[in-house]
Structure formats: C-alpha cells, structure tokens
Amino acid sequence: MEGLTDETALPESALRKAAAVKSESKETAVHAAEAVRDTAARAVRTAREHTPKEALDRAGHVTGQARGAAAHVGHFAADHTPPQLREQADRAAGAARANRTPLLVALAAAVIAAALVRGLLGGRR
C-alpha cells in the first residue's frame, strides 16, 4: 500500500475540510485567549474597586520590594548558572515566546477545566 505523502493523493474535499478545521481552531484559540484576557481584566477592575486604598498602597509597596528581590535573585542565579544551562533556558524561553497562542489556549483550557471542576464539586457541598 502506498503512503499518502503527496498532497495530490488526498481528495480535494479532505484538504478543504482540513483547512476549514485548521481555520476554525485558530479562530477558537483567538476567541479563548480574548475571553481569558477580558475575564482577567474584569477581575482586576473588580478587585481594585472593592479594595481599600490603604491596602492597594501597601500592595504596591510590597510588589516593588518583591520585584527588587526577584531581580537580585535573578542576577545571582545568572551569575552562578553554567553557560550550557543558560543556553537551554534561553532556547526554552524563545520557544515559549514563539508559541504564545497555543500556550494561552492551554492556559484557558486549564482555567475553564478548573472552573468546571470547582462548580461541579461546589454544588455537592
């Protein structure tokens, strides 16, 4: 039996269907990412509206301290990490940046799954 490595070996309708599914999945991923962004923005807005100003000020101060500590730890780690491991980490970070949409879709799916599980389990209490 011959392999189907040549595109001409596939029926044209199968190629059209595959292209339609691919296009539809991209649209779904974009919509899911937008929904996650919108939900996160709404949650931040709601939290800011219902949090006292003093708490927000303190949180900003603590955030600044945490950023400074994280930067210090990052510099320390970079200075003491072997070059080969740094190169591997750089490649992994580059791959993550290049594939943001699939990562966002996976994150959105995890958030939705967690919400569903929480909703299902929350109803039984």
Query: In this predicted model, what pLDDT tens digit does every residue of 23-44 receive, in sequence order?
Result: 888 888 888 888 988 998 888 8
* Closest to 30 measured CA to CA, from 90, 101, 94: 101
- Output the CA torsion 116→117→120→121 (10° steps): -150
Mean of all residue pLDDT scores within the chain: 82
pLDDT tens per residue, range 63-114: 999 999 999 998 888 888 888 888 888 888 888 888 888 888 888 888 888 8
pLDDT band for position 9 (cuts 50, 70, 90): low
Q: Is the model's pLDDT at 2 over the cut of 60?
A: no
Per the document, the length of the chain is 125
pLDDT reported for residue 6:
53
DSSP string, the chain: -----SGGGS-HHHHHHHHHHHHHHHHHHHHHHHHHHHHHHHHHHHHHHHS-HHHHHHHHHHHHHHHHHHHHHHHHHHHHS-HHHHHHHHHHHHHHHHTHHHHHHHHHHHHHHHHHHHHHHHTT-
pLDDT reported for residue 1:
43
pLDDT reported for residue 124:
57
Q: Is the model's pLDDT at 4 over the cut of 70?
A: no
Burial zone of 36 (CB within 10 Å; 0-12 exposed, 13-18 middle, 19+ buried): middle
Map out the domains of the chain as residue ranges. 11-122
pLDDT more than 90, % of the chain: 10
pLDDT band for position 48 (cuts 50, 70, 90): confident
CA 115 to mean position of chain CA atoms: 16
